[in-house]
Amino acid sequence: MGKDKIRRFAEIETFSNVLQLDEGKPCKGEWSKGFFKNDNPVVLELACGKGEYTVNLAVLFPDKNFIGIDYKGNRIWRGAKTALEDGVNNVAFLRIQIENLTDYFAPGEVDEIWITFPDPQPQLSREKKRLTSPRFLNKYIELLKSGGCVNLKTDNDGLYVYTADKIQELKLKEHINTANLYHSEYADEVLSIKTYYEKKYLKDNKNINYLKFSFQ
């Protein structure tokens, strides 16, 4: 492990807005009142990477609580540090494996889920690792409040088509479906937030796909 990674791992241990592994389990069912000390809705960003989307959403919506989730602490460090330096108090980061979500959030505790540019896991043998596979969708159904939505932004056409197919196959409710977000009517202030990787994709003239769906 490089010196920078070691330093970042040590530093996030001191961050008040980062909970790692078992530290987050006591917050299950109590994220708003227990951790954020309010009654505001809880929104998750899964595989949040450096946390750009999490932090920017928190700035746009101060009346909601945002939690970025990723297992790579050196990535979380960037978003957590930015939030602390900028005084963005409605954001937290949770370092866990995403497949363990139900150990950290109670049924119906989450209002919305964002998945921005996840690993598409293109190999058929890794389908179960795709964050929009039935394995994960079943977890989201449990955690989301009635009518709560899942948002997927991806540059990967394969993951986009796979997810759109699952929405149809499982008879989920599709709200928005576009294969070219920035040439559509949907590119508002929220969807125009760009992560580090998205900026790279756009420079390469890649199209950005977006899906919004719910389970009811």
Separation between Cα atoms, residue 155 and residue 117, nearest integer Å: 7
The two tokens of residue 172 are: 């989920």
DSSP 108: T
Candidates 86, 103, 119, 157; catalytic one: 119
Non-local (6+) Cβ contacts of 85 within 8 A are none
Separation between Cα atoms, residue 210 and residue 21, nearest integer Å: 30
Separation between Cα atoms, residue 89 and residue 66, nearest integer Å: 10
The two tokens of residue 111 are: 């209002």
CB atoms within 10 A of CB 174: 12
Active site residue 70: no
The two tokens of residue 100 are: 């363990």
The CA dihedral of 50, 56, 62, 68, to the nearest 10 degrees, is -20
Catalytic residue set: 119
